[in-house]
Each structure stands twice: as structure tokens, then as C-alpha cells.
Chains A and B, each alone.
Chain A
Amino acid sequence: MSEWLRRSTWVDHVLLAIRISVAALVLVGLAGGLTAGTYSAADFVSFTMFGLTIGSVYALIALGYTMVYGILRMINFAHGDVMMIGSFAGLFAAGALNDVGLLSALPLLALPLVLCAGMAGGAAMSLIIERIAYRPFLHVRSLAPLICAIGMSFVLQYAARGLFGTRNRAYPGFGWMEGTVSLFGLIVPIPQIVAFVAALIVLAGLLALVKLSPLGKAMRAVAEDRDAAALVGINVGAVIVATFAIGGAMAGVAGVLYALVFKQITVFMGFALGIKGFAAAILGGIGNLGGALLGGLVLGLAEALGPALILEGFGLPAPYQLKDVIGYGMLVMILIFRPQGLLGERLASKRA
């Protein structure tokens, strides 16, 4: 203790004070929320289900950030908008399938097709971003990729606004997938279950790809050391391209699943979801695929349960308006206090 006092500066003390006060706030809120008893246990279970669903969407977005970060040590600022593009690609595919009647008749066959469209859209967009914002700046040290990616994010949002209009677009109905099912006495919407399961399947596929395939091996090698990987004959440029494509495809899946649960999509939805996905990536430990899943689920649960558990305890009016404060707050806290995340990768500490 005295050793710590001797070596620490006043900044450490301030940071410690912030930590303690945030922890105290959370504890007070938790105590208040639990004793207030506004919500029943069934409410909390349904909140949890919802949190897991949205968390799996965050996890899919987080994968794109994490993979690109692992390889380039850069954040793809436009990743949220890639998800938006994927979501719109899925919308058009769903519209076409709806016209031939496949969507409501055979939703289990139609959904993978819609997901494929979303993946294709997201991957294509991600490749364009790589080509414009990252490839020209691979060998220079500057803010250029960050600024280019911010620029691309705006280009995508406002080009999409010009192309598709500002109004909300609704996905057509997926037949029986629209209903609810009774599970252990709880009524759960089927889209939530479908989205959660689909996200897990896609994640498993991605993990298998990275762990087992030669491409995955090359990706891990490039993440370790780009120059050394080039020396042993790995085509680094191609690996980077593949990484962006896979990350974009994951974002496309996230966009379609998000639309499956929430029905409405807009051209501006990418921004907030992108930040949440980034928060999930950091939370789990950036550069770590399993961490992205963990981070996404934790963030989703925190956002779904936080307002009821913590904010309710302070007796605030309309605590759900402050849902985003919890998400953003977790992002800031993690960036400040544990930039390596829950399952930290060692390089992160060097950088942040």
C-alpha cells in the first residue's frame, strides 16, 4: 500500500477515485433496483433473453472490428455502416423472395438466402472500404486511415440516404417465424431465438475457419507479425483483403439478424450499432475472437438489464432512455481502465 502511494501520481488517485465512485453508483443502484421490486422475475428472464439476442448481434459486429484490428492494429470506423449496407442488401433479397412467395412459405429456407445477400453486401462494402481507406496507407504512420474511415462512414450514410430515402424500411414477414413460443411458461418471440441461434452458428463457422483452415493460419500469422509473415511467403495483401471481406460478411449477418428482431431499419442505424459493436470488441479484448462473443453478450445483457436493475434504483423517470448511457459508459470505462479487455491480448496494453 505504501509502496503504491509512493509510486503513484495524482492522476492515479483521480482514476482510482473515478473507479470507486462508479462502482459505488452501480452498487447503490443495484441495491435500490433489487429492493424496489418494480419488475417480476419473469420480466428479468425476458430481459435476459432480449439481452442475449441483441448481444449476439453486437458480437457479430464486434468480430469485424476485432479481426481488422488484429491484423492492421487499426479501427475500421465505417464498420457500423457496413452493417447497415448488409441490412439493406438483405432487405432487397427478402423483398424479392417475398414477391415469389418463398419468404412466408418456407422461412427456414429463405432466411439463409437473405443472410447470404446480407453477407455479400457487407463483404463487398468492406472490400471497397479496404481499397479506399486502408490499402493506400498501409506503410505510413498517420491519422490518415482513421480520417478516411470517418469520411467513408459519412459517404455511406448519406449516399444510402440519397439512394434509399430517409424513411424507415420494414422487412417483410417471415411466415411462422413472426410468432411467439411458450418456453417454460415464458412467452418468447421466435425471431429472438432464431437470431440467437443463427448468430451462434455463424460464429462457430467463423471460429472453425480461423482455427482450422490455411487462410485462418495465415491470418493469425499476419496478426502476429506482418513482415515476418511476408517473409515466409504469405500473401499479406490477400490476407488483409480476406479479413475485411469476412468481417464485412459478419456485419452483414448482424444487419439481417438485427432487422429480423427489430423489423425496422434506417440508413442511420449503423452509427450507434457500430459503436456498440466496438465496445463489445474492446470489452472482450480486441483481437480475440472468443472475446468478441463474450463482450457482445455481456454488453447486450448489461444494456437489457441495466436500466431495470441499476437506473431504476435511483428512481429516475424513464430509465430506458438512458440505455445508451450504459453502453457508452461501459465503452469509456473499459477504454480507460482495462484497454486489454476481459480476455486481453497482450499487444493491447502496449498500444492503448
Chain B
Amino acid sequence: MSFNAVTSSFKVARRRKSPLAETLQIGALAGLAAIGFALIGAYVAMDKRHVVEDTLTLSQIAYALMAIAAGFVAGRDTQGRPSGSRIVLHGALTGLVAGLCVSALMLLMASVSLRSTLVAASPMLTKALSLGAPIGSLQALAQVPILGALLGMIGGVFAAMPSRYRRALTCGFAIVLIAGLFRDVFVSVLDNVPDFNGPEAEVFGSGGLNRVPALVLLVAGGIFALLRDRWNAGHNPARRARSSKAGLVLLLVGVLILPLVTNDFVAQVAMLVALYMLMGMGLNIELGLAGLVDLGFVAFFAVGAYTVALMCSSGPLALVDVSFWVALPVAVVLAAGAGMLFGLPVLRVRGDYLAMATLGLGEIIRVLVLSDALAPYLGGSQGIIEIDHPRIFGVSLQSPAALYYLALALAGVVAFISWRLQHARIGRAWLAMREDEDVAQALGIDPVASKLLAYTIGAAFAGAAGAVFAALVGSVYPHSFQLLVSINVLAILVIGGLGSLPGVLVGAIVLIGLPELLREFGEFRYLFYGIALVAMMHMRAEGLWPATTRTKENARA
């Protein structure tokens, strides 16, 4: 196994400090996180987003969550059994320390001009952090630590609470947050419901939820979670498994009718999600099943997109001008061929080296496409424009919703193919290779054939995604095919769960859909990806919707 050299029985043991020191450390970490959040400009950007109209903004919620989380961790980490007063005290202390850090930042900003070095340390930030109190006043400086202590105390209480109530509160809060954040989506859904006039005006304000509905949603969510717990406790696990299947069906129905009940913007986002799902399923074959880390994956996407561009464009660079439906299979075949060409040289490279080799290959292709040398054929940085929209039965698929269904249909086909492949002989061969290549070879699996097949099929899926992308955007440019796309797809797989098909859907929704819908988020999405990747590896390495084999392995271990 390629990673044998890495492992050893050696492990760095964590030194235990006194509870008080740990509490202070957690508080300081939370404070640093809060300062970082403010100084990268996220606080000001997210302060514009009201979750509860005129009461709570997204950045205030983020700060509150930091304090509560710190209090929760401090409450949980104190050694021995949780005992009432200690937990509350430690929680309050972490919150206080975190708040003091933020106050220190405000004081620093008031006395020194940081603007020339740190672009986000603007007067707007000071104003936002003062929460309406006069800037630089004692009140502005004191209220943050006091609020922090209160919230930390809540976090401590949260840690001591029976898990039933904790789940209920979390559920209620999550519902309020989702309703507030995705106000636009819900409003557009309510708008489209016929004979149901104007409820959105009462529930939603111009930016987020109104106060009373927010409270109602919080309570309703809590009660719902409590009832569900009661119901689950009274029934056997088999029925619970059935109800998780029902969840999957609900998700599928939601996916199917989404663009019909919402507006064009949401449909466009959904279309992007479907595209990334296509790519995700491709990389899932390479990385999730066969264990081949491919960071040059975007090259196949580019091959698909450029093929369609060259075949369907009415611009000067086009080779032929045929229908999208002719170009699509050609794009898929060419991408698959590219995958094989790509896979051949790196057949014997493994692990981290493979990641770097594929990354290098992908970058070479991008630089070549961008260069003047190939510009007469591929348009260089100007790209290829005027790509025709696909037509079906004489109707041009132009609206985002129509293209969404096109991508969704392709994703469905691809999902079916990869599901069948996964459980076929070759799928099990891939899994065996992922676990231990040498043993797999000893058991009669041909590593060359199965690796090449993984590259080819994965590339074909990505090529299909590229083809739809070209048709959607109507133009292709080299800068659409940066390494970032490969990283996006990798992140989708890791967050969703390596080797898990529903995981790809979940990952694409969480990583592509949510940041697109939250406009304030846009600037910080890659930061969020990075944090999500790291946090996922630490807390839930198997992903949000793990593959069944993984779950079974974990249960046994």
C-alpha cells in the first residue's frame, strides 16, 4: 500500500492542561477567530444581510455562534462529569475572553490607523462592531464582552442540557436561519403559489424574516424536533431507515420541481449545481472508487466545452456548425480519449505524487490553451463565442430552467451508470485497488485496465458537464477552466462523502448552491471551502452522506 511508509504507531499525545487554562485558551481562540472574521472584511459584508428584520444580521449571528460554540466546548471539556455552576462559569469566561479580544480590536482601530495594511479595518467595521452605540465610547467597548459572556454562558448551559432539548433548540434555530437566509427563494416560491395572496409580506420583510414569524418558527422547529425524537424512540430502527428513504424521495421531488416554483436566478443556480454534480460523479469514479487523486480534472471539462464550442458556434473559429445533440457525444468521446491519454503516463504514479502530476498536466493544458501559439485555433484568452443553444423538437433551450432539466437528465443518466458500475465487477475492482493496489493485483485485478477505465469514464462524465456548460454560457474562455474548478469538485466529493453518490448531490448543494444563493457569501466562498475541507477532515472524515461500505466499516471498527 502506498501509504505504508507514512503510518507508524507513533502518535503525539495531547497534553492536558488545567481546566481554567483550557477555558482561557478556548476563549482566546474564539476571540482570534472573531478578529479574523472582522479583519478579512466578512463582518461588514455579512452585516448587510438581515436574518431577522432590523434585529439580527448574519454577522451578528456568526459572532454569537462563535461565543456559544466556545462556551459549549469549554463546558464540555472540563474534566469529569459536568457540574452545573462550573459549566456556566467556564462558558461565561470563554465568552468574556472572546469579547475582550474584539473590544481590544476596536480600541486598536480607534487609536491606530490600520487601513494602509489591512484593507478591511475601515470606519464601517468600527461602526458595525459598536452595535449602534457611539463609536469609541465606553458602552461600545463594554457591551461586546458582556454579550460574549452571556452567550458563552448559554453555550455552557447548552452543553449541560439533556441532548433531547439540545437537538430541539438546534433544529428550531436552524429553521429560522435557513428561512432568513434564503428569504428570496421562499418569497419566490410563495409568489408562485396561486390563490394564496401575500403571506410573504407578513412573514418576510425586505431583507429577512420579521420578528414574530421568526419566534414562531423557532418554537415550531423545537416542538417538531421533540415530537420527532419521541416518535423515533417508539419505533424500531427498520422504520427509521424507511423514513430516511422518505427523506431521499422528498429531496428528489424538491430537485425536480425546484425551477418551476422559483425564479430564473434559482434555476440558474440549480443548473450550476447539476453541472457540478456531473463533474462530481466523474471524479467520484476516479477518486472515490479507484482512489486516484486527480487535480487536473478540469482539463476534461475543458475538452468537452471546447469541443461543443468548436462544433456549435456560429463564430469564425468554428470547425463545423452542427446541432448540440451531435456535438455532445463527440465531446464525451473526445473527453474520454483525453482521459485515457492523461491516465496512461501517470499509471505508475501514486498518492501525493499523483496529485501533483495531474495538477501539472492540467495546468499545462490551461497555459497552452491560453497561449498565443494556439490562439488561431482556440481563440486564446478571447475564447470562443456565439455558441448556439441546444434545440429539442424545434424549441431552443434557452431559459435556465430548460437547461437545468437538460443537465439534470444527463446527471440522472450518469448517476445510473455510475451506480451500476459501482456494483459491477469493475466497481469492486476499483474499491479493491483503492484499499491496496498490490493485494488487488495479487488477486488477479488488472491495475492498468481498471485505472485506465477509471480515468476514461471519469473524464467522459466531466466532458458531458463541459458540453452543457458551453451550451449554457454560450461562450468558453480559458479562465473558466482553472485549477479552482478541480478543487471545487474535490471539495464536493470530500464534503459529501468519498465514493457516495447521494454525497455528490449533497456536496454540490452545500458547496455550489448555498454560496451562489447567498450573494454576500460570494467573496468568501473559497475561504469557506478551505475551512469546510479542514473541518470536515477533523470532525467527519467520511462526509455528510457517507458511502454505505464506509459506514459499515466504521461500525465494525
- Given A148-B534, A322-B368, are A162 and B5 neighbors across the interface (CB < 8 Å)? no
Kindly report which residue of chain B lies nearest to residue A318, judged by CB atoms.
B372
The CA-CA distance from A251 to B19 in the complex, in Å, is 37
Of all chain B residues, which has the CB nearest A166?
B119
Contact B39–A143 (Cβ < 8 Å): no
Q: Residue B327 at the A interface, CB < 8 A?
A: no
A9 at interface by CB-CB < 8 Å? yes
The bracket for how many chain B residues form the interface is: 35 or more
**Chain B residues with CB below 8 A from A139, complex form:** 7-11
**Are A154 and B487 neighbours in the complex by a CB distance under 8 Å?**
yes
Contact of A227 among B1, B8, B367 (CB under 8 A): B8
B28 to chain A, nearest CB (A): 14
Q: Distance (Å) between the CB of B173 and the closest chain A CB?
A: 26
Q: Is A146 an interface residue (CB 8 A)?
A: yes
B226 CB–A CB distance under 8 Å: no
B293 within 8 A of A: yes
Most chain B beta-carbon neighbours within 10 Å: one of A92, A151, A352: A151
**B530 at interface (Cβ–Cβ under 8 A)?**
yes
Docked-complex contact B10 and A336, CB < 8 angstroms: no
Name which residue of chain B comes closest to A331, CB basis.
B360
Contact A324/B10 with A75-B356, A151-B534, A165-B119 known, Cβ cut-off 8 Å = no
Which chain B residue lies CB-closest to A222? B10
* A227 and B10 within 8 A (CB): yes
Q: How far is the CA of A278 from the CA of B533 in the complex (A)?
A: 22
Expressed in whole angstroms, the Cα–Cα distance for A74 and B293 within the complex equals: 14
Contact present for B12 and A158 (CB under 8 Å): no
Q: Which of A271, A318, A335 interacts with B353 by CB under 8 Å?
A: A335
| Residue from the list B8, B36, B118, B352 in contact with A146, Cβ < 8 A | B352
The answer to the question of B248 belonging to the interface, with a C-beta cut-off of 8 Å to chain A, is: no
Q: Which of A73, A227, A331 contacts B6 (CB 8 A)?
A: A73
Residues of B within 8 A of A164 (CB): 117-119
The CA of A318 and the CA of B39, in the complex, are separated in Å by: 41
A228 to chain B, nearest CB (A): 10
Please name all residues of chain A whose beta carbon is closer than 8 Å to the beta carbon of B3 when the two chains form the complex.
141-142
Whether the Cβ atoms of A73 and B36 lie closer than 8 Å is: no
Q: Which residues of B contact A237 (CB under 8 A)?
A: 12
Using a CB-CB cutoff of 8 Å, which residues 475-510 of chain B contact chain A? 483, 487, 490-491, 494
- A332-B360 in contact (CB<8A): yes
A318 contacts B533, C-beta separation under 8 Å:
no
Chain A CB within 8 A of B212 CB: no
Contacts A158-B530, A332-B357, A335-B353 given; indicate if A136 touches B538 (C-beta within 8 A): yes
Name which of B89-97, B98-106, B341-349, B454-462 contacts chain A. Answer: B341-349
Q: Which of B1-53 contact A (CB under 8 A)?
A: 1-12, 36, 39-42
Q: Shortest beta-carbon distance, B411 to chain A, in Å?
A: 24
A165 to B115: give the CA distance in the assembly, Å: 11
Q: For the complex, is B361 an interface residue (Cβ under 8 Å from A)?
A: yes
Q: CB-CB < 8 A to A9: which residues of B?
A: 448
Other-chain contact of A72, B6, B349, B364, B530 (Cβ < 8 Å) = B6
- Also in contact, A324 and B120, with CB within 8 A (given A138-B11, A141-B7, A339-B353): no
Indicate if B146 sits at the interface (CB-CB under 8 A). Answer: no
**Which residue of chain A has its CB nearest to the CB of B287?**
A143
Q: How far does the Cβ of B45 sit from chain A's closest Cβ, in whole Å?
A: 9
- Does B5 lie within 8 Å of A347, measured CB to CB? yes
Interface flag for B419 (CB, 8 Å): no
In chain B, positions 509-551 with a C-beta closer than 8 Å to chain A are 523-524, 526-527, 529-534, 537-538, 541
CB distance from B454 to the nearest CB of A (A): 15
Chain B: CB-nearest residue to A311? B373
Contact, CB under 8 Å: B350 / A351: yes
Contact segment of A10-18, A115-123, A288-296: A10-18
B370: interface (CB < 8 Å):
yes
- CB-contact partner of B541 in A133, A144, A226, A279, under 8 A: A144
A280-302 CB mask vs B (1 if < 8 Å, else 0) is: 00100000000000000000000
CA distance A18 to B347 in the complex (A): 13
Cβ contact within 8 Å between B7 and A155: no
Whole-angstrom CA separation of A25 from B9 in the bound complex? 48
Contact indicator A155/B534 (Cβ below 8 Å): yes
Residue among B10, B448, B527 making CB contact with A230, cutoff 8 Å = B10
A205 within 8 A of B: no
B190 at the A interface (CB under 8 A): no
B170 within 8 A of A: no
B323 within 8 Å of A (CB atoms): no
CB atoms of B352 and A154 under 8 A apart: no
B10 proximity list for chain A (CB < 8 A): 138-139, 226-227, 230, 236
- B356 engages A336 (CB within 8 Å): no
Task: Let me know if B363 is at the binding interface, CB within 8 A.
Answer: yes
Question: Contact: A159 with B527, CB < 8 Å?
Answer: yes
Contact present for A331 and B372 (CB under 8 Å): no
Q: Is A97 an interface residue (CB 8 A)?
A: no
Whether A328 lies near B524 (C-beta < 8 A) is no
| 10 residue pairs bridging A and B, Cβ less than 8 Å apart | A132-B534, A141-B1, A158-B527, A163-B40, A275-B359, A282-B356, A316-B371, A329-B364, A336-B346, A352-B350
Question: Besides A140-B7, A230-B10, A339-B349, 9 other CB < 8 A contacts?
Answer: A139-B7, A146-B293, A146-B355, A151-B531, A162-B41, A163-B118, A316-B371, A335-B346, A352-B351
Chain A positions near chain B (C-beta within 8 angstroms): 9, 11, 14-15, 18, 72-75, 77, 92, 95, 132-133, 135-144, 146-148, 150-159, 161-165, 226-227, 230, 236-237, 240, 271, 275, 278-279, 282, 316-319, 321-322, 324-325, 328-329, 331-332, 335-336, 339, 347, 350-352
